[in-house]
């Protein structure tokens, strides 16, 4: 950069800064913490960052400064977060280089946003140095570095991977399929989305393989694959052959939920003897989510459950009543999420508490498998229902569907 001011007194010294030295000095300051966080964002709206800033129990500042009762002073350092970090440009990119070289060890890698299929992008690219335009961060020697490549590099030295939000976990909205492809359209190989977007974990509802299952081409993810699918004992070390990976989905994810899991991981890294991290099968569900957050459905915990039991269902989405929302499209019976019970910020909010339907944003398959949002869930045997979604409905959803059907039948009689 030659100048920050178009006229008047120009600031021209930025081009002479030794960014590597400046970043190393910043790294030394952050390394005073015992464990660091590298927060990397791919294809994202930054909604999960906004959400975690709203966390209240504990809040983000308490965790980072060690002021909460969960961690001692100086135990956590936020090494990289492109939205809120003071560094920018080459200085910010140098921090990523330091992280991949081990300067911030040990660190937890937090992913926000989906990852696209850059092989598909290259098919439509004439400049080999700037291929990968779906998602890239910075350049090296005149060549762009894709988000996929950064995730591979950072995951290699991370002691754990946390995915915050539906996009990072299973692909989310960026992974939604192309409904009306233009003439000559060729689909990416990773997903049916325009960019071939996927999440870190598999999406069995849409049939997408996440980064964690692409170990043949990306061996960096093998330790995380072993943790989820081979149920090995995790060791929070950059060189471990079994490293934990955990999903905290949502659109966006809840701030308190994200911080609880982040603190859980930090404590496990700081005090492995006092807070040992269990095997995946002991605390994660089939979609790599903590059972202590996502163990029950929205329907199970809904404050409108009394109206469901009474067979009283809302007729129109915007009606001013407290009746059950299943008839106007609530996906609570097929979704695992506690925030309608506990509230969103400081115990306030949550879709069904405030009159909105659950849209299934904490689930794989979101949002393809849960649209239209204001249409009731189909019965599991309905041919038009996505087969994979039908398998996730379970007893609670079947009960809600049958209950709704019986209420309609009773009224007609």
Q: For the chain, give the number of residues.
A: 413
Token couple for 317: 């989405």
pLDDT at residue 141, as a whole number: 86
Token couple for 257: 């939920």
Whole-number Å distance between alpha carbons of 74 and 72: 6
Question: Is 3 a residue whose pLDDT tops 60?
Answer: no
pLDDT > 90 in the chain, percent: 55
pLDDT > 70 in the chain, percent: 78
Q: Where does the pLDDT of residue 333 fall: very low under 50, low under 70, confident under 90, or very high at 90 and above?
A: very high
DSSP 389-410: HHHHHHHHHHHHHHHHHHHHHH
Whole-number Å distance between alpha carbons of 182 and 160: 40
pLDDT at residue 107, as a whole number: 93
Q: Dihedral of the CA atoms 294, 300, 302, 304 (nearest 10)?
A: 170
Q: Of the ranges 39-43, 77-81, 339-343, 393-397, which one carries the lowest mean pLDDT score?
A: 393-397
251, HSE (Cβ side, Cα atoms, 13 Å): 19
Higher per-residue pLDDT: 118 or 387: 118
pLDDT tens, 237-289?
Answer: 999 999 999 999 999 999 999 989 998 888 888 888 888 899 999 999 999 99
pLDDT average, residue stretch 306-325 = 92
pLDDT at residue 240, as a whole number: 95
pLDDT at residue 130, as a whole number: 60
Question: Is 88 a residue whose pLDDT tops 50?
Answer: yes
- Each residue of 253-271: b (16+ CB within 10 Å) or e? bbbbbbbbbbbbbbbbbbe
Higher per-residue pLDDT: 398 or 40: 40
pLDDT at residue 272, as a whole number: 82
Task: Determine phi and psi for 109, rounding to 5 degrees.
Answer: -95, 120
Indicate the pTM of the whole model: 0.83
pLDDT at residue 128, as a whole number: 63
Phi-psi region of 141 (alpha: psi -120 to 50; beta: other; left: phi over 0): left
**Omega before residue 237 within 30° of 0, cis:** no
Higher per-residue pLDDT: 207 or 17: 207
Whole-number Å distance between alpha carbons of 52 and 254: 7
DSSP 113: S
Token couple for 145: 């570095």
Higher per-residue pLDDT: 197 or 90: 197
Question: Is 401 a residue whose pLDDT tops 80?
Answer: no
How many other β-carbons are positioned within 10 Å of the β-carbon of residue 358?
28
Whole-number Å distance between alpha carbons of 90 and 18: 10
Q: Which element (helix H / strand E) includes 300?
A: helix 298-301
Token couple for 398: 């079947």
pLDDT at residue 205, as a whole number: 95
Nearest alpha carbon to residue 354 among 300, 302, 276, 299: 302
- Each residue of 202-213: b (16+ CB within 10 Å) or e? bbbbbebebbbb
Whole-number Å distance between alpha carbons of 113 and 45: 8
Structural domains in the chain, sorted by start = 13-292 (3.40.50.700), 298-412 (4.10.480.10)
pLDDT at residue 56, as a whole number: 85
Of 99-108, 163-172, 368-377, which has the strongest mean pLDDT? Answer: 163-172
Higher per-residue pLDDT: 13 or 272: 272
Q: Of the ranges 17-31, 104-118, 354-368, which one carries the lowest mean pLDDT score?
A: 17-31
């Amino acid at each position: 950069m030659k100048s920050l001011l178009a006229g008047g007194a120009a600031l021209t010294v930025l081009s002479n800064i030794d960014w590597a030295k400046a970043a190393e000095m910043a790294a030394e300051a952050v390394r005073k913490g015992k464990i660091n966080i590298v927060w990397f964002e791919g294809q994202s709206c930054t909604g999960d960052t906004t959400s975690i800033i709203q966390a209240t129990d504990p809040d983000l500042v308490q965790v980072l400064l060690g002021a909460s009762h969960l961690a001692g002073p100086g135990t956590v350092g936020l090494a990289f977060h492109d939205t809120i970090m003071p560094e920018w440009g080459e200085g910010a990119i140098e921090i990523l280089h330091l992280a991949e070289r081990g300067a911030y060890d040990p660190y937890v890698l937090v992913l926000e946003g989906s990852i696209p299929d850059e092989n598909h992008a290259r098919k439509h690219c004439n400049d080999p140095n700037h291929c990968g335009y779906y998602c890239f961060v910075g350049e090296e020697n005149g060549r762009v570095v894709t988000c996929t490549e950064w995730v591979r590099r950072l995951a290699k030295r991370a002691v754990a991977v946390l995915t915050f939000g539906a996009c990072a976990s299973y692909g989310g909205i960026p992974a939604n399929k192309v409904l009306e492809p233009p003439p000559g359209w060729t689909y990416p190989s990773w997903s049916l989305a325009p960019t071939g977007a996927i999440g870190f974990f598999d999406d069995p509802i849409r049939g997408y393989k996440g980064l964690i299952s692409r170990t043949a081409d990306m061996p960096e993810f093998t330790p995380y694959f072993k943790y989820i699918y081979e149920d090995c004992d995790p060791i929070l070390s950059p060189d471990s052959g079994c490293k934990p990976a955990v999903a905290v989905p949502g659109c966006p994810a809840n701030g308190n939920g994200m911080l609880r899991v982040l603190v859980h991981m930090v404590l496990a890294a700081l005090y492995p003897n006092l807070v040992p991290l269990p095997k995946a099968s002991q605390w994660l569900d089939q979609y790599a989510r903590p059972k202590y957050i996502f163990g029950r459905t929205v329907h199970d915990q809904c404050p409108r459950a009394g109206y469901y039991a009474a067979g009283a269902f809302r007729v129109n989405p915007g009606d001013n009543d407290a009746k059950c929302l299943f008839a106007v499209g609530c996906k609570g019976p097929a979704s695992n999420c506690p925030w309608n019970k506990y509230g969103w910020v400081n115990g306030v909010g949550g879709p069904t508490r405030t009159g909105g339907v659950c849209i299934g944003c904490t689930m794989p398959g979101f949002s393809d498998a849960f649209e239209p949002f204001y249409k009731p869930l189909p019965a599991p045997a309905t041919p038009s229902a996505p087969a994979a979604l039908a398998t996730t409905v379970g007893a609670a959803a079947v009960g809600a569907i049958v209950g709704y059907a019986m209420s309609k039948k009773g009224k007609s009689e």
